[in-house]
Amino acid sequence: MSSFAAPIAEQIWDMKYRLKEADGTALDATVEDSWRRIARSLAAVEDDAEGWEARFYEALSDFRFLPAGRILAGAGTERSVTLFNCFVMGTIPDTMAGIFDMLKEAALTMQQGGGIGYDFSTIRPKGAAVQGVAADASGPLSFMDVWDAMCRTIMSAGSRRGAMMATMRCDHPDVEQFIAAKSDPARLRMFNMSVLVTDDFMEAVKADGPWDLVFGGETFKTVRARDLWDRIMKSTYDYAEPGVIFIDRINQMNNLAYCEEIAATNPCGEQPLPPYGACLLGSVNLARLVAEPFTEGAALDEAALDELVGTAVRMMDNVVDASRFPLPQQAEEARNKRRIGLGVTGLADALLMVGLRYGTEEAAEQTEAWMKRIARAAYLTSAGLAEEKGAFPLFDAEKYLASGTMQLMDEDVRAAVADKGIRNALLTSIAPTGTISLYAGNVSSGIEPVFAYAYTRKVLQKDGSRTEEEVVDYAVNLWREVHGEAELPGHFVNAQELQPQEHVRMQAAAQKWVDSSISKTINVPEDIGFEAFKDVYMQAYETGCKGCTTYRPNDVTGSVLSVASEAKDTTPSETPALVHDSGDGGAEVVYMSEPLDRPAALEGQTYKVKWPGSEHALYITLNDIIMNGQRRPFEIFINSKNMEHFAWTVALTRMISAVFRRGGDVSFVVEELKAVFDPRGGAWVQGKYIPSILAAIGGVIEQHLIAIGFLAGEGMGLKSDPQAEVAVVGGRPQGSCSSCGSYDVRMVEGCMTCGNCGYSKCG
Q: What's the mean per-residue pLDDT of the chain?
A: 85
Active site residue 554: no
The pLDDT assigned to 760 comes to 64
The pLDDT assigned to 409 comes to 97
Alpha-carbon gap, residue 377 to 516, rounded angstroms: 16
Active-site pick, 86, 151, 170, 268: 268
The pLDDT assigned to 590 comes to 38
Alpha-carbon gap, residue 730 to 48, rounded angstroms: 59
Strand 243-246 and strand 278-285: the pairing is unpaired
Active site residue 671: no
Burial class (CB in 10 A: 0-12, 13-18, 19+), 686: exposed
Active-site pick, 251, 255, 266, 285: 266
Highest mean pLDDT (candidates 158-172, 474-488, 668-682): 474-488
For residues 245-262, average pLDDT: 97
Using an 8 Å Cβ cutoff, are 212 and 176 in contact? no
pLDDT greater than 50 at residue 159: no
The pLDDT assigned to 599 comes to 76
Going by pLDDT thresholds of 50, 70 and 90, the confidence category of residue 586 is very low
Alpha-carbon gap, residue 491 to 1, rounded angstroms: 33
**Residue in 717, 730, 743 with CA at minimum distance from that of residue 756:** 743
Q: How many other CB atoms sit within 10 Å of the CB of residue 368?
A: 17
Q: In what order do the strands lie in the sheet with 618-627?
A: 603-609, 618-627, 630-640
For residues 265-289, average pLDDT: 94
Alpha-carbon gap, residue 73 to 77, rounded angstroms: 8
The helix/strand/coil state of 253 is helix
Active-site pick, 270, 497, 671, 749: 270
pLDDT greater than 70 at residue 749: no
Alpha-carbon gap, residue 112 to 367, rounded angstroms: 35
The pLDDT assigned to 585 comes to 30
pLDDT greater than 50 at residue 757: yes
Alpha-carbon gap, residue 723 to 715, rounded angstroms: 7
The pLDDT assigned to 570 comes to 33
Identity of residue 70? R
Residues with Cβ < 8 Å from 157, sequence gap 6 or more?
70, 73, 74, 79, 81, 82, 111, 112, 113
Alpha-carbon gap, residue 375 to 436, rounded angstroms: 22
Q: In angstroms, what CA-CA distances link 751 with 68, 527, 720, 754, 762? A: 15, 22, 17, 10, 6
Strands (E), 340-416: 340-345
Alpha-carbon gap, residue 476 to 250, rounded angstroms: 37
Taking only the tens place, the pLDDT of each residue in 11-48 is: 889 888 999 987 889 999 999 999 999 999 999 999 99
pLDDT greater than 80 at residue 583: no
Length of the chain in terms of residues written: 763
Alpha-carbon gap, residue 307 to 378, rounded angstroms: 10
Q: Is the peptide bond before 267 cis (omega within 30 degrees of 0)?
A: no
Taking only the tens place, the pLDDT of each residue in 84-101 is: 888 999 999 999 999 999
Higher pLDDT, 664 or 202: 202
Alpha-carbon gap, residue 326 to 695, rounded angstroms: 28
**Residue in 169, 265, 168 with CA at minimum distance from that of residue 517:** 265
The helix/strand/coil state of 631 is strand
Burial class (CB in 10 A: 0-12, 13-18, 19+), 722: exposed
For residues 210-236, average pLDDT: 97
Taking only the tens place, the pLDDT of each residue in 683-718 is: 777 767 788 888 899 999 988 988 888 887 776 555
The pLDDT assigned to 713 comes to 72
Taking only the tens place, the pLDDT of each residue in 435-479 is: 899 999 999 999 999 988 887 766 655 565 667 778 899 999 999
Using an 8 Å Cβ cutoff, are 82 and 324 in contact? yes
Alpha-carbon gap, residue 692 to 678, rounded angstroms: 5
Using an 8 Å Cβ cutoff, are 145 and 178 in contact? no
pLDDT greater than 90 at residue 603: no
Going by pLDDT thresholds of 50, 70 and 90, the confidence category of residue 364 is very high
